Amino acid sequence: MKPFKMVSTEYKSEPTRIHIPAPGGNDVIIGEGYCTMIAGPCAVESSEAYLELAVMLQHLGVHILRGGLFKPRTSPYSFKGLGQSGLDIMAEARSITGLPVITEVMDVRDLDVLYDTVDILQVGSRNMQNYSLLEELGQLDKPILLKRGLSATIEEWLLAAEYIVSGGNEQVILCERGIRTFEPYTRNTVDIGAVPLIKQLSHLPIIVDPSHATGKWEMVRPIAKAAIAAGADGLMIEVHQDPDRALSDGKQSLTPENFSRLYEQVIRLAMLEDKEVLKNKG
């Protein structure tokens, strides 16, 4: 058997579909046969901006809202997110739109407070090998989005997922977000091949984040389409009303107009791939 056991297709051949209960009543499904769209700003910056964007995205048909509260920034002098105070803003967006929300957890000490409000907990690239965090998440009854580490091999990534699943939490969604290579023109190098490979090796769902994978907003739409064509079960996209003024990741953020264009094309591609694009009440 492969070194990863419970996440492997050898262990379970039937694809895992994760049900995310939505506060508005429409459960969101992530997995084979679906195309689930997660969108929102890199970071929650203010109540006004986040709520306005959340409603816009809901009307465009987004299924899950993203927003960073605890941001893992390379420089300690960069904006690190609103932390717990931003959680109330996400809670309000969740209740106004009826959509589930996802945010990154960097520290086990924040788990209790995030658990009550957040529908999916994200493990960021930098924490993919934070094994004590993964073990804690394995104890929870909450879906986890596990991003691929900055330089992680497919096997290291699946073994990180194994930490969570073997702890008892089978609700793991993998997220390809590019890996570090010798190429400096893009923030990361997208590993589109990881999508069909993961489908072969694991029953877990896999989505792609073309925003962090490229670092350039102009590349987000083409790579989003490539991801769906390669068989991804969904996308996570950064959107900001005014990318030039974003406090983080403005260069890779789409305006709502550009996001809407991307989404229209993705819906057509998803249909071609026989994927259901869940409808929200909106």
Q: Where are the alpha helices (DSSP H) in 61-123?
A: 84-97, 111-117
Instruction: Indicate the residue among 16 and 253 with the shorter CB distance to Mn ion.
Output: 253
Chain centre distance of CA 88: 20
243 contributes a contact to ligand PEP by CB under 6 A? no
CB of residue 80 vs ligand PEP: minimum separation in angstroms?
Answer: 11
From CA 256, how far away is CA 40, in angstroms rounded? 10
Among 119, 136, 170, 249, binds Mn ion (CB under 5 A): 249
> Please, which residues have CB within 8 angstroms of residue 133's CB and are 6 or more apart in sequence?
105, 107, 108, 123, 127
Q: Are 61 and 276 in contact (CB under 8 A)?
A: no
CA distance 119 to 57: 17
Query: Which range of residues in 5-13, 74-82, 124-132, 258-266 is near ligand PEP by CB under 6 A?
Result: 124-132
Contact 176, 195 (CB under 8 A): yes
Write phi, then psi, for 88 (nearest 5 degrees). -65, -35
Which residue in the set 124, 143, 205, 243 belongs to the binding site for ligand PEP (CB under 6 A)?
A: 124
For 207, list phi and psi in degrees, rounded to 5. Answer: -120, 170
User: Residue 63: what residue type?
Assistant: H
Report the nearest approach of Mn ion to the CB of residue 11 (Å): 33
State the binding string over 161-200 for ligand PEP (x if CB under 6 A, else -).
----------------x-----------------------
81 binds, among ligand PEP, Mn ion, none (CB under 5 to 8 A by kind): none
Binding mask 201-230 for ligand PEP (x = CB under 6 A): -----------x------------------
Task: Point out which span in 3-11, 34-42, 129-137, 140-148 binds Mn ion (CB under 5 A).
Answer: 34-42
Binding Mn ion (rule: CB under 5 A), the pick from 20, 30, 42, 230 is 42
Q: How far apart are CA 101 and CA 38, in angstroms?
A: 9
Residues that bind Mn ion (CB under 5 A): 42, 249
Residues that bind ligand PEP (CB under 6 A): 42, 68, 72, 104, 124-126, 147, 177, 212
